Structure 1
Amino acid sequence: MTQTKPPPKLDTVAMEAFLEKEFPQVFGAGKTFHVEAVEHRFARMRCRYDPRQLRPGGTISGPTMMTLADTGLYVAILASIGPVALAVTTNLSINFLRKPDQKDLLAECRIIKLGKRLAVGEVAIWSEGEPDELVAHATGTYSIPPER
């Protein structure tokens, strides 16, 4: 017996609008992070390649990949619970697995536990065109504020 997933509380367009309103410094004009898809307990994100993301040695920086992972988990959680701006990261752990190519990064984010106060998820990140070669894997926990 298969269970059907509930629809996301925010679709891709609504999610992008929410992020632009709440986080204009990251999602405003010239943004590099984009929401490609949302489902209940899932998000796919894209980080458009920009040479400013490079660190010495020609690799995309760790902070860029961490931002992609953190943002992706936030989006997957909000797709599941709705626009709760004050959901916050309480833990983020990332393993850098190999040097990413100088091209767009993609991330698939899955929520593996969604409670009333905490959500736990994982993120797989790869360079565009190379989905079988992860460049990073992250796990994260978010605190969800109580409803008022």
Structure 2
Amino acid sequence: MHDATPPPSNIQEIVHRGVPLAAAWGIEVLQAAGGTATCRLPWREDLLRPGGTVSGPALMGLADVAMWAALLGVTGGRDESLTTSLAIHFLRRLAPGPVLAEARILKRGRITYGEVLIRSEGSAELAAHVTTSWAAVGPRPSR
């Protein structure tokens, strides 16, 4: 049995400690509970690719963090699962501005499967669809 869901600010602290790049990019955890999470990537010029759109690596990083936040929301903030796969389909360019990633766990177990929907903040149009799997990791054996 896991503890109650920590507030989004606590999950954000865990994410920033565990993935310092998420802190450097300013990723915010807006919601994380019930097997879902919403994360926000603020608009940053240094994450653009030629043509003025958000780079693929930034969107993949945001999706990965969002799924981890969803897992942290169902494990009481204690999860050491590892990403085993992440497939992204870019559907359209993002308008200038912040980006939202909405993650949800589809099946949880030794291997957890999920999806992440990425869109510009304030838009209903999907910019990317992500599927991902994560392997549960137990405590490291002591030496």
Q: Which bracket does the TM-score occupy, shorter chain normalised?
A: 0.7 to 0.9
- Alignment of structure 1 residues 49-60 onto 2, 5 Å: 49-60=43-54
Gaps of 5+ in 2: none
Between the aligned partners of 1:82 and 1:7, the Cα distance in structure 2 is 5
**Superposition CA RMSD, Å:** 2.0
SS in 1 for 2:80: coil
Cα distance, 1:24–1:64 mapped onto 2, change above 3 Å: closer
CA contact (8 A) 1:124 1:136 kept: yes
Q: Which residue of 2 aligns with 1:107?
A: 101
Give the number of aligned pairs: 139
Alignment of 1:81-120 (within 5 A): 81-115=75-109, 117-120=110-113
Q: Deviations over 1:67-113 (max 9, x none)?
A: 11111011101111233453110000000000111110011111000
1:128 is matched with which residue: 109, 116, 121? 121
Residues 84-93 or 136-145, more deviating = 84-93
Q: Which amino acid aligns with 2:19?
A: F
Q: Is residue 140 from structure 1 mapped to residue 136 from structure 2 by the alignment?
A: no
TM-score by length of 2: 0.88
Any conservation in 1 of the 2:3–2:75 contact (CA below 8 Å)? Answer: no
- The letter of the residue matching 1:55 is R
Segments of 5+ residues of structure 1 without an aligned counterpart are 1-5
After the TM superposition, list the runs of 4 or more consecutive aligned residues in structure 1 that deviate by more than 6 angstroms: none
Match of 1:3 in 2: none
- TM norm structure 1: 0.85
Structure 2 residue matching 1:13: 3-state secondary structure: helix
CA distance in 2, matches of 1:109, 1:16: 15
Percent identity for Structure 1 against Structure 2: 35
- Stretch moving more, 74-83 or 50-59: 74-83
The secondary structure found in structure 2 opposite 1:130 is coil
Aligned counterpart, 2:17: 21
The answer to whether the 8 Å contact 1:35/1:45 transfers is yes
